[in-house]
Structure 1
Amino acid sequence: MILWRISNYTDISGNGGLQASGRWHTQGRKVVYCTTDPGLALLEVLVHLEVDPEDLPQGFRWLKIAVPETVTRETVAALQEGWRTDSGITRARGDAWLRQGSSALLFIPNAIVPEGQNVLLNPQAATAEQCRVSAVMDYPLDPRLLASTGKS
């Protein structure tokens, strides 16, 4: 399986989760947010982009992450109504999964595209070390994408 991520960093250590909370975790927990599709990775970047075009980070990279079949995984159970707007719902579920350490991957619904899937990678899970960044590619953001968001 291949997972995708766009980031300023080229590792999958999960250290970013130590610095800030996300939809599926509270600050202080190592976690890596990935997607099953490179287009979803781009949408995730765009929806969280809160800078003027001239302030865009210059170091965005595509990370292609190879995941062997032996890596443990699970899928989040049905979530209660309102999970897209109430981050407490998703953070509680993600934090519980990270605490349990029961698998390296948690497949979660994508909040932007309901049919899409994001994947959390717990770098502290036993089989997570089998996941490898198989390619790192420069990713300059196309200015037309920013024009469509009204941020250019």
Structure 2
Amino acid sequence: MIVHRVSGNEYKDDLSGGGGLKSEGRWHNRGIPIIYTSESKAVAKKEKQRGPAGKIIPDGFVYVSYEIPDNIEILEITREMLDDIPWDKTPYKGGPTQIIGSDLLAQGEFAVIKVPSVVDDKSYNFIINPNHPDARRITIKDSRTKVE
């Protein structure tokens, strides 16, 4: 499977998840290594823009495409599983998705977790846990395409 993210050119080849150490996200607390990816370049761009209205992505950003081997087990969290919690609300700081995601990353059982996208209600994002041993098998296939 190929998944994508939008990255600054200087971080395009980084598989450490170091961005999660510096800032929080919907599915993790700051201080946890994580790589957020999306099922398509279009959704990755929307995620970077933080919504359909969006903002302009500055020069120097590229699409990074990752290949996740088919035999890596992926935990799937569906929208239906989240029906009883405000998973898609902003601000998300301290919210249920940060708790769920941070706990799953800390447990380290899965290299990849599939979660619903907030910016596209039919799409999913794929969270890569760089601390999982199988994450070493995930490779960057392309990191040269500029975000237009």
- The TM-score by the shorter chain falls in which range? 0.7 to 0.9
Larger Rg: 1
Identity of aligned residues (%): 27
Residue 98 of structure 1 corresponds to: 105
Q: CA RMSD in A?
A: 2.1
Measure the CA separation in 1 of the matches of 2:147 and 2:89: 30
Aligned equivalent of 1:126, options 127, 133, 141:
133
Taking the TM superposition and a 5 Å limit, the aligned residue runs for 1:3-152 are 3-8=3-8, 9-10=11-12, 11-47=14-50, 57-76=58-77, 78-79=81-82, 80-85=84-89, 87=92, 88-141=95-148
Q: Which runs of 5+ in 1 are unaligned?
A: 142-152
1:114 shift after superposition: 1.3
Q: Which runs of 5+ in 2 are unaligned?
A: none
Give the alignment's TM-score, normalised by structure 1: 0.83
Moved over 3 A (4+): none
Give the alignment's TM-score, normalised by structure 2: 0.85
1:113 shift after superposition: 1.2
1:82 shift after superposition: 1.6
1:70 shift after superposition: 2.1
1:12 shift after superposition: 2.2
Secondary structure of 1:127 counterpart: helix
Residue correspondences, number: 138
